[in-house]
Amino acid sequence: MRIPRDSSIRYRLLSALTLAVLVFIWWFVTAFGLVEPLFVPSPAAVVASFVRLVFHGYRGVTLLEHLAHSMYRVMVGFLLAVITAVPLGLMMGRNRIVRAILDPLIELYRPLPPLAYYTLLIVWMGIEDSSKIALLFLAAFPPLAISTVAAVERIPDHRIECARCLGVRGWTLMRTVLLPSAMPGVFTGLRVSIGFTYTTLVSSEIVAAVNGIGWLVLDASRFLRTDAIFVGIIVMGVTGLLLDRIIRLIGNVMVPWKEE
């Protein structure tokens, strides 16, 4: 059966082939002893470690529980950023006074590595989830706010003027014109923001935590459990990819229109 040139199936097959080649190289290197198992465990050893972590856990906590702790932190911090950054981004994009007030604050801490001020959050809030959620919120906020501002600035002026000629003002203008027009850019910002958030989550768990995927990888490295490290890294990659795909799916459902 011939696959059409523009079919998405063709590209999915190429992606699957790339992953298969990587797994084959991994298997080849470990099967013929080109690298010590201590440094690179075999695929079979990683699968066995995954099963063991799922059913027996690590340090008395199962892999799914570690993942649940991580997902709780990232989703709370990310959602807090969404419900604050998007409205503020809309206002910053249309109101110069609001932008003049908030833009310096965002630009002041945006270039800072999140772990640079995480130590202060630990001093203020402790090592429990509150400090991690605050860190994730601060990490997710700037890219989402900036992308929302940029999306608002790209809205054609004539679209807003036409709405105003019809008597649309204030909140109604924002709800019926600004927000729908900016939504494609907002969802692009959501995808960028969730990536920053998840990366920061792993770093925060490595610095100060007693559970979570990042903590599992760090603790396993202390005992040279490279099989568990590989499991943690693969789980991070898969969950990060799933989060991005979920946002893309929601965007396709909520924003079927696209800007030219």
Q: Parse the chain into domains and list their residue ranges.
A: 59-254
Least confident of 54-68, 168-182, 218-232: 168-182
Res. 1: pLDDT tops 60: no
Give tens-digit pLDDT for 8-26. 788 888 888 998 999 999 9
Q: Look at 114 and 20; give whichever has higher pLDDT.
A: 20
Res. 35: pLDDT tops 60: yes
What is 59-254's CATH superfamily? MetI-like (1.10.3720.10)
The identity of residue 68, as a single letter, is: A
d(CA 215, CA 177): 45
Which residue from 220, 237, 214, 218 is spatially nearest to 49, judged by alpha carbons? 220
pLDDT given for residue 167 in this prediction:
81
- Quote the radius of gyration of the chain (alpha carbons, Å): 23
pLDDT given for residue 41 in this prediction:
92
Contact yes or no for 147/89 (Cβ under 8 A) = yes
The H-assigned helical ranges of 95-178 are 96-109, 114-125, 129-153, 157-165, 170-173
pLDDT band for position 144 (cuts 50, 70, 90):
very high
Res. 188: pLDDT tops 60: yes
Give tens-digit pLDDT for 149-173. 999 988 888 888 888 888 877 788 8
pLDDT band for position 258 (cuts 50, 70, 90):
low
pLDDT band for position 38 (cuts 50, 70, 90):
confident
> What percent of the chain has a predicted confidence (pLDDT) above 90?
47
Average pLDDT over residues 125-149: 91
Contact yes or no for 203/131 (Cβ under 8 A) = no
Tokens of 39: 């440094």
CA distances (Å), 226 to each of 38, 95, 240, 260, in order?
A: 7, 53, 21, 48
Contact yes or no for 94/178 (Cβ under 8 A) = yes
pLDDT band for position 3 (cuts 50, 70, 90):
very low
d(CA 248, CA 259): 16
Contact yes or no for 248/184 (Cβ under 8 A) = no
DSSP 4: P
Question: How many Cβ atoms from other residues are within 10 Å of residue 135's Cβ?
Answer: 26
